[in-house]
Amino acid sequence: MTSYDVEKGAHASSDTSDSKPYNPAHITDQHNAVPGESFEIGNSWYARTQRFAGKLGFEQRGIERVPEDERTDSGFRALLNVGTMWFSANMVVSSFALGLLAKQTFYLGVADSMLVILFFNLLGITPVCYFSTFGPRFGLRQMVLSRFWYGWYGVKLIAVFNVLACIGWSAVNSIVGAQLIETVNPDVKGPAGIVIIAILTLAVTTFGYKVVHAYEFYSWIPTFIIFLILLGVFAHSGDFVAIPWGVGTSEMGSVLSFGSVIYGFATGWTSYAADYTVYQPSNQSRTKVFFWTWLGLIIPLCFTEMLGVAVTSATALNDGNNRYNDGYNATHTGGLLGAVLIFHLGTFGKFCIIVLALSIIANNCPNIYSVALTVQVLAHWTARVPRFIWTFIATGVYIAIAIPAYYDFALVLQYFMDFIGYWLAIYEGTALADHFVFRKGMKGYTPEHWDQPMKLPPGIAAVFAFCCGIAGMVTGMSQVWWVGPIALKAGAFPYGGDVGFELGFLFSFVAYCAARPLEKKFFGR
């Protein structure tokens, strides 16, 4: 049985047991008409566009639930798909760039930086792994799943944050890649490099789920080889400096603040985790999905970020002509890599850096694919715009953001990572409170209600909890422009230590547990 929801503006499947394969090329205006709108059968803009997308091989499905008979991503290959998906998306130069912040921004040593990387990554990836198991079980995208926690209207607030996150991630990543391109060829300035990376990413994401997975299945291989070359060359150079770690409240504040950045990067995939497992069958092992997602995240994150810490230690060399410092001051990440690869390997080193620059494509693919699905949650008219068109629009927007941000990248990266960690911790606190405390696990969901507003929670409790989470975040955040009263106690004056994401999670979790019973009592749902 199929149904159409005006708010979604799409041909939806509300019963997976007997639904037909989804083919928008066959959609007529009768399936997609807004009440009162005149139409000519099969000849609307939406229908024509979807037929055009089908001819080009683009994925046509948007936020609709994936019926069981279309979940063809099965077997061991499906687990490899999800593992390599995240492995490729994180075996990238953006992760390496994060390691640079340990010394350059937070003044940490080598050993303490690496411990922070290990433990805060373990913390940050856990929600990503867990929510990835929801995709096979329900066949719903992450933002659509969020309706079961935030309600039909409350989820729109979350969707706005997620759109900002997807666009922001893409801008930050493209800046890193552009830095590398400029290092190799100074004639190709940052803005040109950003455009190159954006266009190549668009070429992959336009085709949708299967092509994204196919690209990510292999793209980690050349990048991993280059990082191994970087490791070997740098280790052989003898330029590593074992910077000691500090002590006291200053060290504590730096650990917490750098940990907040690491957590923000690791947990940044949470808001679209289920998007990449929805085509797996409902009987897929949740334990295996969790484990393969975990492997695909923890290995590349720790490897690349720790490598970044190690290479950055060379900026502490006391010789009179420190090429590492000069390179970092010139083009940040690109300059630092050039001080290793180009200095020792010459032309081949330049080739290696170009490969690392193109690794950004793998990192940006999940962002640009998922941002289109997120926009479709916002309103009925956004759902009536085919997914691939939103990928074009999102690409133009993040290019416009990345170009002016290119010239002050270190601050952009730090502030953006903190923002991601803050809001996602609040999101996770609310979602996990509902899932474990009130729904008692997976059996507490009726996935057929995904497109029925009156059978979803009102969302008042979740939005209230989100606001409480923001209050907790504000008291614990430590930024140049604001230091919360609790943050001041977590480190040395004047910046203390950033505990914004921890307090955001705690406040939202507790507030939801207090407000949800009242909401259920008053509304009955």
* 321-359 pLDDT per residue, tens: 889 999 888 878 888 999 999 999 999 999 999 999 999
Indicate whether 129 belongs to any domain.
yes
Which is nearest to 78 in space by CA: 285, 229, 357, 253?
285
Question: Which of 132-146, 444-458, 484-498 bottoms out in mean pLDDT, i.e. has the lowest?
Answer: 484-498
- Strand segments (E) across 84-174: none
Asked if the model's pLDDT at residue 26 lies above 60, the reply is: no
Confidence of residue 362 (pLDDT cuts 50, 70, 90): very high
Q: What is the DSSP letter of 2?
A: E
Indicate whether 253 belongs to any domain.
yes
Peptide bond into 494 cis (omega under 30): yes
Asked if the model's pLDDT at residue 496 lies above 50, the reply is: yes
For residue 396, the enclosing domain spans 72-408
Query: Would you state the torsion angle of the CA atoms of residues 362, 96, 164, 261, taken in this order, to the nearest 10 degrees?
Result: 150
- Determine the pLDDT at residue 61: 84
Q: Are 61 and 23 in contact (CB under 8 A)?
A: no
Asked if the model's pLDDT at residue 33 lies above 50, the reply is: no
State the average pLDDT over residues 69-87: 93
Asked if the model's pLDDT at residue 259 lies above 90, the reply is: yes
Asked if the model's pLDDT at residue 59 lies above 70, the reply is: yes
Handedness of CA 270, 105, 182, 302 (dihedral sign): negative
Can you name the residues that pair with 11 across neighbouring β-strands?
4
> What are the start-end ranges of the H helices in 376-524?
380-383, 387-405, 409-433, 460-476, 485-488, 500-523
Question: Which of 38-47, 58-67, 279-288, 313-322 bottoms out in mean pLDDT, i.e. has the lowest?
Answer: 38-47
- Determine the pLDDT at residue 361: 95
- Determine the pLDDT at residue 217: 94
* Structural tokens at position 381: 């008219």
Indicate whether 355 belongs to any domain.
yes
Confidence of residue 10 (pLDDT cuts 50, 70, 90): very low
Asked if the model's pLDDT at residue 490 lies above 80, the reply is: yes
Calculate the average pLDDT of the chain.
87
Could you tell me which residues come within 8 angstroms of residue 452 by beta carbon, excluding any fewer than 6 positions away? Answer: none
Distances (CA, A) of 473 to 105, 411, 479: 21, 20, 12
CATH of the domain at 321: 1.10.4160.10
DSSP string covering 247-288, please? -HHHHHHHHHHHHHHHHHHHGGGGGGGGGGTTTS-TTS-HHH
Which is nearest to 439 in space by CA: 153, 148, 158?
148
Asked if the model's pLDDT at residue 37 lies above 70, the reply is: no
* Structural tokens at position 416: 């953006």
State the average pLDDT over residues 389-395: 94
Can you name the residues that pair with 478 across neighbouring β-strands?
483
User: Alpha-carbon distance 516 to 461, whole Å?
Assistant: 5
Which is nearest to 296 in space by CA: 16, 68, 81?
81
Report residue 58: phi and psi, to 5°.
-75, 145
Q: Residue count of the chain, please give it.
A: 525
Indicate whether 102 belongs to any domain.
yes
Indicate whether 414 belongs to any domain.
no
Asked if the model's pLDDT at residue 320 lies above 80, the reply is: no
DSSP string covering 467-503, please? HHHHHHHHHH-B-SS-B-HHHHTTSSTTT----HHHH
Q: Are 334 and 177 in contact (CB under 8 A)?
A: no
- Determine the pLDDT at residue 248: 79
Tell the residue number behind the tokens 């690791």, with chain if given.
266
Confidence of residue 3 (pLDDT cuts 50, 70, 90): very low
- Determine the pLDDT at residue 190: 87
State the average pLDDT over residues 44-58: 81
* Structural tokens at position 351: 């080739």
Q: Count structural domains, the chain.
A: 1
Asked if the model's pLDDT at residue 25 lies above 50, the reply is: no
Which is nearest to 349 in space by CA: 340, 357, 358?
340
Asked if the model's pLDDT at residue 31 lies above 70, the reply is: no
How confident is the model over 399-439, as pLDDT tens digits? 998 988 887 765 665 566 667 778 999 999 999 999 999 99
Which is nearest to 246 in space by CA: 111, 437, 100?
111
Percent share of the chain, pLDDT over 90: 67
Report residue 375: phi and psi, to 5°.
-60, -35
Q: What is the DSSP letter of 44?
A: S
How confident is the model over 184-231, as pLDDT tens digits? 888 888 899 999 999 999 999 999 888 999 999 999 999 999 999 999
- Determine the pLDDT at residue 409: 63
- Determine the pLDDT at residue 173: 87
Indicate whether 497 belongs to any domain.
no
- Determine the pLDDT at residue 415: 67
Indicate whether 141 belongs to any domain.
yes
Indicate whether 524 belongs to any domain.
no
Tell the residue number behind the tokens 């085709």, with chain if given.
207
